[in-house]
Amino acid sequence: GESVGLHLPTLSVQEGDNSIINCAYSNSASDYFIWYKQESGKGPQFIIDIRSNMDKRQGQRVTVLLNKTVKHLSLQIAATQPGDSAVYFCAEKRPPGNMLTFGGGTRLMVKP
Amino acid sequence: GAGVSQSPSNKVTEKGKDVELRCDPISGHTALYWYRQSLGQGLEFLIYFQGNSAPDKSGLPSDRFSAERTGGSVSTLTIQRTQQEDSAVYLCASSPMEGGGYTFGSGTRLTVV
């Protein structure tokens, strides 16, 4: 069935390195994508979003890339810090309506 | 309020008891969502309210689960005759009418003993 999924359930990186978290989606009609960060004991927090008419969007230390040809979404975190350790979820919005469908999550572990 | 508020933050209940979980969304947000998250797992959709439309209940796992949203604002998720498998974190989120990302609350951790 159609779904949003992740390639790697756990990613371990060295502090200071760049991190890349990947997400695959299968519904070509999805028009809006979001990355969320969830720290232990907290609700998911919005990180960055991108609409389907874009292929790249940058924030502070984070970049989201959207490849509609292969239905792939990635989150890049520059100079990863211990505070980036969390579970990261991608989500897609499929029209009509505003419902988001969430992927299964990737745990990012930052080694000092 | 400034964010989505959920209460209680933690709830321990005996198997078979009913529980009510409360969500206070961001003022002006017309959409409200409930999700369930088991330990170390992803987000499981439960129910979605949008304005005055009939709620989307397609994610509720059984008829023991119900939710209401009064006055287009506060929502209550009720679980009747709780079972141990109901133990999870219940997350509420809201979003504005024009869409965009959700803002999540910190969740209610429910433990059924």
pLDDT digits (tens, 9 = 90+) for B71-110: 879 999 999 999 999 999 999 999 987 667 899 999 999 9
A41 contact residues in B (CB cutoff 8 A):
106
Q: Which residue of B48, B95, B107 is in closest CB contact with A43?
A: B107
- B44 occurs within a structural domain: yes
- B57 occurs within a structural domain: yes
Average pLDDT over residues B19-46: 91
Q: Give the domain CATH number at B33.
A: 2.60.40.10
Q: What are A6-10's contacts with CB under 8 Å, separation 24+?
A: A6/A90, A6/A103, A6/A104, A6/A105, A6/A106, A8/A106, A9/A104, A9/A105, A9/A106, A9/A107, A10/A106, A10/A107, A10/A109
- B108 occurs within a structural domain: no
pLDDT at A2: 35
pLDDT at A12: 95
Contacts of B92 (CB under 8 A, 6+ apart): B4, B6, B21, B23, B25, B32, B33, B34, B35, B75, B77, B104, B105, B107
Q: Which residue of A42, A46, A101 is in closest CB contact with B106?
A: A42
Q: What's CA B81's distance to the chain center, in Å? A: 17
Please give the radius of gyration of chain B, using alpha carbons only, rounded to the nearest integer.
Answer: 13
What is the pLDDT confidence band of residue A50, given thresholds at 50, 70 and 90?
very high
Please report the DSSP string for B15-82 in residue order: TT--EEEEEE--TT--EEEEEEE-TT---EEEEEEETTSPPB-TT--STTEEEEEGGGS-EEEEE-S-
- A43–B101 CB contact, under 8 Å: no
For A106, the 3-state DSSP assignment is strand
Average pLDDT over residues B38-46: 85
- B93 occurs within a structural domain: yes
Q: Which residue of B42, B45, B101 is in closest CB contact with A46?
A: B101
- A43–B102 CB contact, under 8 Å: no
Polymer length in residues for chain A: 112
Percent of chain B whose pLDDT exceeds 70:
97
Q: Residue B38: what residue type?
A: S
pLDDT at A70: 93
B56 contact residues in A (CB cutoff 8 A):
99
- B69 occurs within a structural domain: yes
Q: Give the domain CATH number at A35.
A: 2.60.40.10
Give the structural domain span for A106: 4-111
Cα–Cα distance between B83 and B13 in angstroms, integer? 10
Q: Which residue of A34, A99, A105 is in closest CB contact with B48?
A: A99
- Residue B5 contacts residue B103 (beta carbons within 8 Å): no
Count of CA atoms in the C-beta half-sphere (13 A) of B61: 14
Give the structural domain span for B77: 5-9+19-100
What does the pLDDT look like over A1-40, one tens digit per residue? Answer: 334 544 448 999 999 999 999 999 878 899 999 999 999 8
Phi-psi domain of B96 (left: phi exceeds 0; alpha: psi -120 through 50; beta: other) = beta
What does the pLDDT look like over A88-101, one tens digit per residue? Answer: 999 999 887 778 88
With a cut of 50, say whether residue A111 has pLDDT above it.
yes
DSSP state of A29: T
Count of domains forming chain B:
1
Count of domains forming chain A:
1
pLDDT at B99: 67
- B93–A46 CB contact, under 8 Å: no
- B99–A93 CB contact, under 8 Å: yes
- B113 occurs within a structural domain: no
Chain A CA closest to residue B47: A99
